[in-house]
Structure 1
């Protein structure tokens, strides 16, 4: 057995007991290694190389600490089918880590491209998918594609949002319930995101927990945030708050989660503060447990039985799952029946049983027909219109709250500025106090079409073309920085005019 990988029972409904963990980040690698009582860590998949691991993760795995790769760039909720190269990269990282599962998000992160015959747009952020039948059909097919490409089970995370789509047909709990019912995918429930959506969108965390299939939970995220002007910002850079821990307690009162993980992505505190937050998580789990457990930090597992709200939600969505009315009737007679597809997913026709007799890692129960081109086209048009309004200043799609769109748009631009400053720290050093204002002005007219490193190069080119910085020494430094990374000199005036003419033609 690979170091750091506990046995995972596949196809029987058993979920690996992970315990208490923390998000591993390079900035706090030493602190994470020194923390006591850490059973596992989670690492952002895109921050790891596909062929070798940071020394810190190697040492953790040698100690028997499980490492789970957490993807942020697949965009499984997007209109396009998942990118094969991204899936291959995630699979490679799972294999390198000996991970028992991989996780991603229920979100879209890019739009445009061939489906809409428009330029590709990157959000640089996780954006909510509409809770509609079209979007659910697309998501389910994308999840099945991902499951077929990954060597271990997949779990998907609910996200935080500042905006909601108009004319949604399902609640979040119903949406997640049907996703699990149709694909057998596991869930990563972020209680901080449930709290965020409570403050920002008025969604009741308790109602969502009642409706979602808690028996499908692989593990739970807990993170800090801050409220500003009535908007909760899920920053992962602030201490845990009592309201977030209260949502964790709500979840624990329903089910004993296999794992709970503390996330911190910025403004990293000393190790002692991280240890204190982990202690707060343990204390919350103990206090909220319905019965005393066998150990000091974990309560005895309680079999998850769907609530009345959850059963009603499943009965409402059952006709679209292909299971028919008999399945809904069976749920009424036996509430545990609706756990069937999650607890014992049938193997795929194209996948042979594992050598131990269990189902394969990506086992699922959905046998629905492929999503039609029209469904993907409608989803693509809707997502492109929204993302274009957020990052390119186009008119807001009908039905959206314009004020919230402006808040989200500013947040996306601010995040771009912050991330570019991290991946290219020379830029704020060269530009000084003028960096942020210059970048936000650039971002207002230049949507991101690639990754953040490409964005940094494009920003530097933009500043140089505009004749900046004013200080000659700074301008020389910026020019050398750009040339070192792009392999060419900034475009001359003729090239700039040609580019401007092409842009004008595309915009017509």
Structure 2
């Protein structure tokens, strides 16, 4: 079993690598300390690997994926996993992150991050899947909490308990998406602080921050807007409780205000640095 990611090995604050933001990212040396690359944009596409190799010369890379489907009953697709391993080696990734979710059932892609049923049988399957991924990659797997409109009925534990058991059994880490907590709390009438505290915060390696839109009384995790003050406050609460090593600002649309997005990276980084220095953290 790979060792749990070391939260003291600091990589800092960065942003999800998008071609629309490439010039801003490369021109923000010092403020952008690390980039997160969406692995699925490069898997099975060897013609794009020179691009990643060049990027790796400029900035550390962490890889983030969408389709391991560790919450499925079946094992991750071996061809997909082999491509992930090649990409991890190319980028010298310290770990690989994906979601605690189901994206495939009997080999059929669902095209969506579907929530896991929080039962003992699913936990056993997830443990086996995480161990198989870590054995193949030779580096730790770090799993992200997702947005979900409901908990699948008949659950035998909470999401937080499921994460805790999975981390304990496999040594994997956690990618805590602060904005996903905000979305779930608003849409489901839950207390975001309670959700936050339910997770194994001692295992948080990386943090995601993004902005969504509200429509019809619901919040949509669109990654297309500035980070809300609710998310900043929740991020501050997290940093008082957890020793994260990376924080990534996500933006997938509406890139017009590149300078504003970079200011968000700087704000996230300043808060992370304050927490690491033992100083008071405020949003």
- Separation of aligned partners in 2, 1:86 and 1:52: 17
Once the two structures are superposed, what CA deviation does each residue of 1:92-118 show, in whole Å capped at 9, x if it has no partner? 11011111111111001122x4xxxxx
Is residue 224 of structure 1 aligned with residue 214 of structure 2?
no
- Aligned residue in 2 for 1:176: 163
- Separation of aligned partners in 2, 1:57 and 1:121: 29
**1:32 touches 1:271 (CA, 8 Å); kept in 2?**
no
- Aligned residue in 2 for 1:20: 13
Q: Greater CA radius of gyration, 1 or 2?
A: 1
**CA 1:102–1:288 in 2, change beyond 3 Å: closer, same or farther?**
closer
- Aligned residue in 1 for 2:74: 80
**CA 1:184–1:12 in 2, change beyond 3 Å: closer, same or farther?**
closer
**CA 1:290–1:169 in 2, change beyond 3 Å: closer, same or farther?**
farther
Is residue 29 of structure 1 aligned with residue 22 of structure 2?
yes
- Offset, 1:289: 7.4
Once the two structures are superposed, what CA deviation does each residue of 1:409-432 show, in whole Å capped at 9, x if it has no partner? xxxxxxxxxxxxxxxxxxxxxxxx
- Offset, 1:53: 4.4
**CA 1:96–1:78 in 2, change beyond 3 Å: closer, same or farther?**
same
1 or 2 for the larger relative contact order (CA 8 Å, sep ≥6)?
A: 2
- Aligned residue in 1 for 2:55: 60
1:465-476 equivalences in 2 (<5 Å): none
- Offset, 1:149: 0.9
**1:105 touches 1:159 (CA, 8 Å); kept in 2?**
yes
Is residue 249 of structure 1 aligned with residue 253 of structure 2?
no
- Separation of aligned partners in 2, 1:241 and 1:60: 30
Which structure shows the bigger proportion of residues in helix conformation?
1
Q: 2:128 aligns with which of 141, 144, 159?
A: 141
Q: Which runs of 4+ in 1 moved over 6 A?
A: 286-290
**CA 1:56–1:89 in 2, change beyond 3 Å: closer, same or farther?**
closer
Structure 2, unpaired ranges of 5+? none
Which structure shows the bigger proportion of residues in strand conformation?
2
- Separation of aligned partners in 2, 1:242 and 1:234: 15
Q: Secondary structure at the match of 1:257?
A: coil
Q: How high is the TM-score relative to the length of structure 2? A: 0.89
- Aligned residue in 1 for 2:142: 155
- Offset, 1:221: 0.6
Once the two structures are superposed, what CA deviation does each residue of 1:24-78 show, in whole Å capped at 9, x if it has no partner? 0122222211124111101111101554545654443223x11111110111111
**1:70 touches 1:104 (CA, 8 Å); kept in 2?**
yes
Matched positions, count:
278
**1:223 touches 1:236 (CA, 8 Å); kept in 2?**
yes
Q: How high is the TM-score relative to the length of structure 1? A: 0.51
**1:253 touches 1:289 (CA, 8 Å); kept in 2?**
no
- Separation of aligned partners in 2, 1:287 and 1:242: 18
**CA 1:149–1:13 in 2, change beyond 3 Å: closer, same or farther?**
closer
**1:30 touches 1:56 (CA, 8 Å); kept in 2?**
no
Is residue 90 of structure 1 aligned with residue 77 of structure 2?
no
- Separation of aligned partners in 2, 1:274 and 1:197: 24
Q: Secondary structure at the match of 1:141?
A: helix
Structure 1, unpaired ranges of 5+? 1-9, 114-119, 300-508
**2:5 touches 2:205 (CA, 8 Å); kept in 1?**
no
